[in-house]
Amino acid sequence: MRNFFLLPVTALAFSLSVSFASKLHADPLTKQLEVDFGRDVASRNLKGLAARSDGRVLPGPVFTDLDGPKLGEILWVMKPAGNNHFIVGTGPDGKVQEVTFNPKDSSYAVREVADVTEAQAIAVLPLADGSLLVGTSPTAAVYLVKDGKNIARVPLPADSVFDFLPLSDGSVLAATGNPGKIYRLDLKKLAQAGLIEGKISDDKAIADKGVAVFGEIRDRNVRKLARLTDGRVIAGSSPKGNVYAFNPAGGAPLILQENRESEVVDLLPMDDGSFYAGIVATTGDTGRIGKLPELKDEGKDREPKPGFSGRSSVVRFPVDGFPESVVTKSNIALYRLARYNDWLLLTAGEQGDAFGYDPVARRALTFAGSASAQLNDIAPLSDGRYLLLRNNAPGLALMSFSPAKTRELETKRLDLGVAAELGGFRFSRLRGLDASALKLEVRTNYGSDEIEGWSPWTEMKLRDGAFYADGLRGRYARFRLQLSGTATDFQIDKATLYDLPQNRRPTLTDFRIFAPNLGLIPVVEQPPSPTATLGQLMFPGAREGRDEAAEKRKGSFMSSQIIPQTGAQLIYWTVSDADGDTLAYTFSIRPENSDSWIDLSVNSADNYVQFETGSLAEGLYLTRLTASEQSPRPAKNRLSYTFETDNLLIDRTPPAITATQIQRKDGQLLVSVEGRDALSLLEGAEFILNNGVRESLLHPADGILDGRQETFIAEIPEPRASGATSVEIILYDQAGNSSSVRLPLK
């Protein structure tokens, strides 16, 4: 019974291993490129769709840059101030603007509501009675403004006011930078403070103006404030980027998370008592908000160089538990956090990106974004719409999660690796819609330029469950996907693009004609291994472009034995094929004065040939090597290329010894030989005395071994020649032929 069950399992394992091995050893012809929409689609190239970090496409918002009156050069912050009313702090003129949004036609009007002395109005807070708090920089002044007039100005002993937080008792907290402090503002006393000019450097000087220290930190700046459901105040700092928690009454804080070289850009409390923190890690003096260099407007393909190099993350702080990073973005600066139903919304830059996070699926999302470089703030409107503040160019934008009439996306430039012919574009799975509801277009380019050289958009036709644009070629491709219909709950999984790379001709990388009269005993090739590794299955791309059979044959060849064999001639070559095609070789020779080729090897898989030269006449032979692609490449697509290779000399005639001489001089025996060869260069001479002394010379008398006629002189000390009565001289040519003569010694 035991053997009965083991035999089928063993047979199955063997069949699987053979199947894997045969798959691994197949020649790579058709290539596959995974299209991951979460990675390959930029925020600004989405409309009505969202790309998730697992590569899927979901319904998403429509993003519209609004045209309207100018608000300022730099837009810092936007706060709701009633139904469709918003307050915007700007720079560098210290203006505060009121925006009135018209939901019917998405237009807006702008009215100046405050003008402060300082250059930047960084923090604003509309109050219930219609008045307004403004915090400024580079002097940390707090303004109370009513009906467009500055009622009070209280400078704080700091450089900047970064944020305001209203409390339930009617007071307001103000976060400052340099030093990092939090002040509690008594609005009634503040209203009576009047306009205090200049700067102050002492907290005591403003104690009677309704300003008291709530808490302070050792980091330089308190950037953001928020209040949790239990009454605690949380604060985020810079340049360390720490997250702190203060008791409702203030005092010394607890550190919830320590960071380094970072900035806490926003804090978002949740109803369950947890909160999210947006943290940006910067390198050097990189700034997040400001003006970028002017760029030419190049339409949809406008791609400014990022002005930020760093890393952003969103960290979740649970009620009871440890902080957890849920989103991480490289070279992108986050600005604000907001909520849409269960999703988290993230506005960012430096290319107008809008992102999200789905805490249920635990996946990051990419939403439609702006043509501007930065999205600095976000405020909810109604019916799933949000008003956004954008910079470079400054203005407003609208993000709407309402069902979109037009939904589309465009991928980034996808690199196929080499020029190729496009095959099918196949989605792995569609959920909630049919493939007939999709319109897919493609454009290609042989160059990597983002703007220049692209073909027109070509619609791909649906066939056999995939989309095709027959005959379209290129090195780079972009795809544009459009959805029709009224589906509001769907998912589009990753896609696979199949392509046939350009068939490149093989290249001769090594060709060697070995010395004659050497025979080869080839090592028997080992059969392919019937097993495969997991790494080979997971990363087959590492094998692309490699002819493993040729590599194994080369390894066998290098391990072969060489033996003396009269009349044998060995020739070896290495041919590489960039596409990994299987190659067969035909090697031919012809006499120099003849037009007839002699094939010595025809369609052989071996990268060498060994033959006897006895049947060939002496003289110079031209050689050629033809490399031809084989199966599995279809016959009509196979390439063949003939290389003109090195000349082969057949020489069986020994060199002639034309002169010899023996003399004794200065204690040495001088033996010279002069010779000449009709076809080959001379190789050297050997002098053998009959007392057992041997001298071999590879350098002629003139010092350069480069001719068919040479003279070799052996200098043998007299003591070594003692007792010798004769010397045998052997003269060699490079073809392995030799002549000899024996001379008596006097």
pLDDT of residue 216: 97
Mind listing the pLDDT tens digit for each residue in 235-269?
999 999 999 999 999 999 999 999 999 999 999 99
What band does 579 get if pLDDT is binned at 50, 70 and 90?
confident
Q: Return the percent helix, strand and coil in the chain, to nearest 5.
A: 10, 50, 40
pLDDT of residue 20: 47
Identity at 397, one-letter amino acid code: A
* Region 132-139 average pLDDT: 97
Domain spanning 45-66+261-290+307-406, CATH architecture? 7 Propeller (2.130)
Domain spanning 507-527+537-650, CATH architecture? Sandwich (2.60)
User: Is pLDDT above 80 for 552?
Assistant: no
pLDDT of residue 51: 96
User: Is pLDDT above 60 for 45?
Assistant: yes
What band does 546 get if pLDDT is binned at 50, 70 and 90?
low
What band does 14 get if pLDDT is binned at 50, 70 and 90?
very low
User: Is pLDDT above 90 for 8?
Assistant: no
User: Is pLDDT above 80 for 12?
Assistant: no
Per the CB < 8 A criterion, the answer to whether 648 and 514 are in contact is no
Helices (H), 408-539: 534-538
Mind listing the pLDDT tens digit for each residue in 614-623?
999 999 999 9
**If DSSP states are collapsed to H, E and C, what string results for 244-304?**
EEECCCCCCCEEEECCCCEEEEEEEECCCCCEEEEEEEECCCCCCCCCCCCCCCCHHHCCC
Domain with CATH 2.120.10.30 in the chain: 71-216
User: Is pLDDT above 70 for 9?
Assistant: no
User: How many whole angstroms separate alpha carbon 306 and alpha carbon 286?
Assistant: 11
Mind listing the pLDDT tens digit for each residue in 412-471?
999 999 999 999 999 999 999 999 999 999 999 999 999 999 999 999 999 999 999 999
* Region 632-650 average pLDDT: 93
DSSP state of 353: -
pLDDT of residue 5: 39
> Cα–Cα distances in Å, from 673 out to 518, 661, 691, 705?
27, 7, 20, 14
User: Is pLDDT above 50 for 394?
Assistant: yes
pLDDT of residue 299: 39
Average predicted confidence (pLDDT) for the chain? 89
User: Is pLDDT above 80 for 176?
Assistant: yes
User: Is pLDDT above 80 for 149?
Assistant: yes
What band does 553 get if pLDDT is binned at 50, 70 and 90?
low
Instruction: Determine whether domain 71-216 maps to CATH 1.20.990.10.
Output: no
Domain with CATH 2.130.10.10 in the chain: 45-66+261-290+307-406
Mind listing the pLDDT tens digit for each residue in 694-705?
999 999 999 999
pLDDT of residue 350: 75
Identity at 75, one-letter amino acid code: L
pLDDT of residue 484: 85
pLDDT of residue 382: 82
Looking at domain 656-744, its CATH superfamily turns out to be: Immunoglobulins (2.60.40.10)
User: Is pLDDT above 60 for 122?
Assistant: yes
> 């810092």: which residue's tokens?
76
Mind listing the pLDDT tens digit for each residue in 594-607?
999 999 999 999 99
User: Is pLDDT above 70 for 190?
Assistant: yes
What band does 385 get if pLDDT is binned at 50, 70 and 90?
very high
User: Is pLDDT above 60 for 97?
Assistant: yes
Pair of tokens at residue 275: 């909160």
Reduce the DSSP state of residue 558 to 3 states and report it: helix
Domain with CATH 2.60.40.10 in the chain: 507-527+537-650, 656-744
> Cα–Cα distances in Å, from 338 out to 313, 390, 652, 656, 725?
15, 16, 91, 98, 108
What band does 150 get if pLDDT is binned at 50, 70 and 90?
very high
